[in-house]
Amino acid sequence: MKGVRTVVAAVSSALLLVASLAVAGVDHSDFVKGPFKEGRDVTKQCLECHEKQATDFMKTSHWNWKGAPNHVKGMEKSTKEYGKSNMINSFCTTVFNGKDGLPQESCNKCHAGYGWNRNKFDHTDKTRVDCLVCHAGKGNYERAAVGCDINMAAIKKGSMDLEKAAKTVGKPTLQNCGYCHFYGGGGDNVKSPGLDSTLLSADKKRDVHMASKEKGGAGMTCQDCHKTKEHKIAGRSSMMAHHQGKVECTDCHSGAKAPHQKSRNKAIIEKHSAAVACQTCHIPTISRGQATKVGWWWSDVGKKIEPQEEFDQETFAKKKGTFKWNMDYVPTYAWYNGKIERYMVGDKIKDPSKPVVMTKPVGDIKDKTAKIYPYKFYQGSQPMDAKFKYLNTFQQYKSLWDHYDWDKALKDGAQDLGLPYSGKYQFVNTVAWLSAPHEVAPKEDALQCGECHMGSKRMDWKALGYKGDPMQTGGRKLK
């Protein structure tokens, strides 16, 4: 019996050790052996223990940059997959445009892999998975601006230590996720409102979840909300056709942790929650840390315009056109039922005199599954083929940005995977509603009644389908 107890105790201790390591994260410094010449050398060592994780990751939209368009209304049964690799937006537009997808040399630096810098890329090669961009701790891991690989120049000058990055791998931090997501659209806080580098030092007034505990926040990381299973990360981007799971406030704030239980206005708030999303009241303004881009007019590329300043940002760049910025401002509100309408490559534009909707939430006042959410309203201009009536897939990188010749850029962008160019183009206005789910403020900063009602201009009630302020004219009536 003594021997049995000893074995049981040993097994129990081992299990406790494994459990504690799972929580704390395994110190890899004894397992990882350098030196390394390139990122793929690190990946090959990772695969010795984590081949399944690499296989799982290669099934995700973070790796493939596309998936079933389950987020787009009317496309749920599509057999074709869509994503960043084959869609168009109103920022840098497309990544696949031009001969052999040349812009990928620059655009794909945020792909979590090594070497996807042309249209042909082996998505089945596990050694091309970049484990470090998501998991490196120390060492100042950095990817090159072009070439879709690690920054070899940084290693040579000593500002990056590849071996230290490999030895300090762990669970993704805000900085890991932010390495790509803070800089979407070509710059810090350009695309996603309120998702920028200032979150790394934010206090709870900026974001009650992501602010460190030392600064009064919860000290949460991205995956605390964006739950991850087999490397599939939950979350629905208002710009993307595909998602691998939903994230809702009620994932945490429900049951025993349901909010407003002790509020004197509990009944009123719960009535609101049938039509108003949590974010609408708890994110009073967006982009509180620094300005975000709210407009981009490609039609001004190459012109001689003197740049002005808005919130410490320039309003014009010769190779990109005119910009508009805003900071710490009231969002635009719209109904959302879990689906979006989305402009897809090749869609015909029926009326070029009206703004082309790039992405917009689906839902209205009569839709009982829809709620009012906050958005960054974004506008601009892009070239449309005057004959074929679709947005052109022009080549910006190593074409337009070098010579400012639209006709040449349109011809270049029509090659290979691009759309045919008729030889004539015109500019059309575009609009987009970009979701603003971050920067949740402390509860004491949540919106109060008078900030939406009683003469407040925050809500455009008629645009939302109401006769007027529902406090005076009545709320929505659902059958």
Determine the pLDDT at residue 202: 97
Determine the pLDDT at residue 213: 97
Quote the pTM value.
0.93
* Residue 200 per-residue DSSP state: G
**Length, in residues, of the chain:** 479
CA 351 – CA 376 distance, rounded (Å): 24
Confidence of residue 9 (pLDDT cuts 50, 70, 90): very low
Pair type for strands 292-297 and 232-233:
unpaired
Determine the pLDDT at residue 1: 44
Q: What angle do CA 271, 273, 277 make, to 5 degrees?
A: 155
Confidence of residue 312 (pLDDT cuts 50, 70, 90): very high
Spatial CA neighbour of 296 closest among 284, 313, 277: 313
Determine the pLDDT at residue 5: 43
101-140: string of b/e by CB count within 10 Å (b at 16+)? bbbbbbbbbbbbbbbbbbbebeeeebbbbbbbbbbbbebe
Are 453 and 471 in contact, with CB atoms under 8 Å apart?
A: yes
Average pLDDT, integer, range 40-69: 97
pLDDT at 433 over 60: yes
CA 475 – CA 479 distance, rounded (Å): 13
pLDDT at 479 over 90: no
* Residue 398 per-residue DSSP state: I
Place of tokens 């989305």: 342
DSSP string covering 204-262: TTT-TTTS-GGGTS----HHHHS-EETTEEP---TT-S--SS---GGGTSSGGG-TTTT
Confidence of residue 15 (pLDDT cuts 50, 70, 90): very low
Are 347 and 72 in contact, with CB atoms under 8 Å apart?
A: no
pLDDT at 36 over 60: yes
Q: Tens of pLDDT along 360-392?
A: 999 999 999 999 999 999 999 999 999 999 999
Q: Tens of pLDDT along 252-302?
A: 999 988 899 888 888 899 899 999 999 999 999 999 999 999 999 999 999
